[in-house]
Amino acid sequence: MDWFVDVLNFIGQQILNVPAYLVGIIVAVGLIALGKTAGQIIGGALKATLGFLVLGAGAGVVVNALSPLGTLVLEVTGAEGVVPTNEVITAMAAAEFGATSAYILALGFLLMLVIARFTPLRYVFLTGHHMVFMAMMLSVLLSIGFGSDNIWLAVIVGAFLLAVIMVAMPAFAHPWTKRVTGNDTVAMGHFGTLGYIAAGAAGQAVGKRSRSTEDIKFPQGLSFLRDSMVATALSMVLIYVVFAIWGMISLGDSAYALLDAADGGAFIMAAIMQGLMFGVGVSVILYGVRTLLGELIPAFQGIAKKVVPGAKAALDVPIVFPYGQNAVLIGFISSFVGGLVMLVLLAVWLGPAFGLALILPGMVPHFFTGGGAGVYGNATGGRIGAVVGGFVNGILITILPALLYAVLNGVAILAGNPSMAGSTFGDADFGWFGSLIGASVLSGNVGMSVALTLGIGLVILVLAILWQVRVVNSGWVPGGEHAEFVDAISAEEKAAEKAARDEAKAARAAAKSTGKHAGPAS
């Protein structure tokens, strides 16, 4: 029987423990369940595996570009500089935690379908890359917090938490999503949801009489900011150059050695090249993620339709972009400004006082979540709502990643495990949810950590069910006092009154005509 044990050990260690292979197997199982042909199954599994490997290759490029920046920021300011990018930290963590995250992803998706099938939270989360990111974050926190001897416990708890957050957040955001879309057909499936809710609430508070952003004509010259590859590279070049100039001022000629440069000109050009290489690395990672999800999502989506018929699909944030294209750009710019304001606060107050890292603005999270926040803010508060909503989102996606980074470091120190310096998860829900889960495992007691994390999941689930039943199902739509909303209702009422008058007039005319042509009574 030794050969049988050797085979099982080979499968467990060399196949199921390798994230790229495991993801390919998960996709193959999903395609088999959907009745796909052998060619489609093999092709889908291989593409998913290759996508994961491409993601890892891009991570290497990004890490090489981030390391000099981290050193430069530390030398200039004395504080650690962090770029919050989901794709980057996921790729950085994949080698060590990828297998655990893949198990959490697969089991969490199945548990989500069970919750959607048997509770009022009938949402199916289909934003694949955010499933991957959240599974990875939970894998890192729980694997380190529970210890290497309790990996399967981390998988089970992580899958439950992933399932809960995937059905709860669409429910919490749904009244605002209905206000944006004007219907009840889709839900928000993106882990920047706290920012969107905050933007909608802020717009409702400050922009009752403000007109829509869609009445504004923006110059075409700003359209390049909508290309995430260009925006990411540009932002990193600017960040690098700012700190390079700062370094030249504060450190003098000794700063040149930080980027292996001989003089000031070479130093600035080296900084520009590192910023561009960061953009290249992120683009490679995004290509890998798209390749992976191109196979993963159809398999998951097909299964979901069979298990939870009639459920609302929770989709990525760009689904709301057509409802406010100008609001997207306004929200993005306002979010970036909010991030800069909070960066200054971190540098001069929160960092020195509480030891928080400097969160450098990342164009990817500010564009997508800031753009979404602008749309939600515009829906409830017009132009003012879009500006304030985007700004609030920028504050959130700067302070929350700083808190999460501190928690990640605390968990890593607890386990004697080196931290993943230089990046953290960027969107709002990763920040608050990850900080709660991370704080729950800092006790060092596995039993207490399990109880606390499961308790957090149960509380969120119960609150989401109550919110769905008492608020969402009641038909409440936020921003009802907004001028354009009121004007729209008034227009509908006037149209209805006019239709009623026309109908009554037509009826009288018909009755008069009938009376004229009627014969004598018999």
pLDDT of residue 188: 94
pLDDT of residue 507: 66
Give me 247's structure tokens. Answer: 């370094």
Assign 208 a pLDDT band (cuts: 50, 70, 90).
confident
Say which residues have a Cβ less than 8 Å from residue 285's Cβ, sequence separation at least 6.
Answer: 54, 55, 58, 59, 62, 87, 88, 91
pLDDT of residue 13: 59
* Cβ pair 344, 379 in contact under 8 A: no
User: Mean pLDDT across the stretch 210-218?
Assistant: 77
Helices (H), 119-207: 128-146, 151-181, 193-206
pLDDT of residue 2: 67
61-111 pLDDT, tens digit per residue, is: 876 887 787 678 767 767 677 878 787 888 888 878 888 888 898 899 889
SS (H, E, C) 232-267: HHHHHHHHHHHHHHHHHHHHHHHHHHHHCCCCHHHH
User: How many residues are recorded in the chain?
Assistant: 522
pLDDT of residue 313: 79
313 or 97, greater pLDDT = 97
Give me 501's structure tokens. Answer: 């008058």
- Cα–Cα distance, 19 to 31 (Å, whole number): 18
17-54 pLDDT, tens digit per residue, is: 666 787 788 788 778 878 889 999 899 889 988 987 88
Bridge partners for 358 per DSSP: 81
- Cα–Cα distance, 463 to 442 (Å, whole number): 25
Going along 423-513, which residue ranges are E strands? 423-424
| Cα dihedral sign, 321-326-327-333 | positive
Give me 374's structure tokens. Answer: 């602008």
Domain boundaries, the chain: 17-492
- Cα–Cα distance, 100 to 161 (Å, whole number): 14
